[in-house]
Chain A
């Protein structure tokens, strides 16, 4: 019964031709937007279209893409995880302390440690939300300030500087043994895994089912609470991974590391076409959303827009993206009638 759900969903989409093309158009839309932006910026600043700059953009969006994918899974179940930034801050600080004290520690072990610590924090979120029945926005708002407070308590206000971290750890994110920086490869790997998980596993399809109609999902035998718990656990796990990469990339761990990052991850998801009311979202869309945010940030610098106006431009862009998305959807409803 549940195993058939994915095919059932897909055929119903494929049957309605207009709907299907418009959904594809939504990703084509953001691709087109990126394409136009790239051409426009290249005309103003030719240095934009160089391999170095492109690599720079990819480096900048890798962490965002990883956490935005986790955020996407949470949003698909009609939830939200505001605590990702504090989880990155706390795990990053703990890993940095351990690495400073034990410089000989294998790099792979630090990655695993970060993911394990993040999983514990994600489990805590998941338990409050599922067993405690606290609305996700309240629960993660609470843990946002709890985890951030723990960063201060943990470090007592000290921070870890670049010279205190071993070289092997710092090259974890930036080394290029396989041509591209490791961090970019890790992000691609995460995207591929999440893609297969969401589209080709039963649990992945259950996530969509829980988000698009929680009651119906429960009647078909899906354990709603377990799925909800799982997405917050994954969110913690990927935030833990992102934390290790963050400390390695910026070569420091501070008490305010990643503060405010949670809203960027939500923005990347929403710009990438993930519906805040649940049930809708694609990996490709979210990766493109993160890429768009990265390109905008990069190009605003290249065409010499004052850094002070960049945040405003980003905010305006998010608004334009969601308004145009709504416009497309309302057009779609009209063609349906």
Chain B
């Protein structure tokens, strides 16, 4: 009897594994809502007229460890691309990064725009792929990041309010902002704003 029971359990588990591997999963709920291109998003934050250049960080394990020590976060990518803009007089007007973070299942991209003192100027969500939670793109959520610096907590229920039904996407934006602030302050430490 016991043998039979064990066989039944193993059999059910085997079937379950098979079911799991063949499950279409969250891909079936994937959306592909596109709101802005990078150029459109940059224009919303900084307007036109600036010259834009890029600087790339190659992320090694030491840099990632430093990030983790400071923020509790890891950088998933091997490189971080920061864009910085200068006006006609050569003065820095700001820097931004196109952050990519996973909401509940799928990654979505958003521009984290910083001003010349490396405080958040604005957030613009470029696309969104979850079936729910798209409200994180609205100004009622993104506007609360304005003025955040590398020393701000950027944490739900502390200095950021999450969107009901989109908690994971809200946290994902927090992660992207926190990491962008930290990388920008590493590149331009003398410009880092203090609270």
State yes or no: do A and B come from one complex. no
Q: State the A residues within 8 Å of B (CB).
A: none
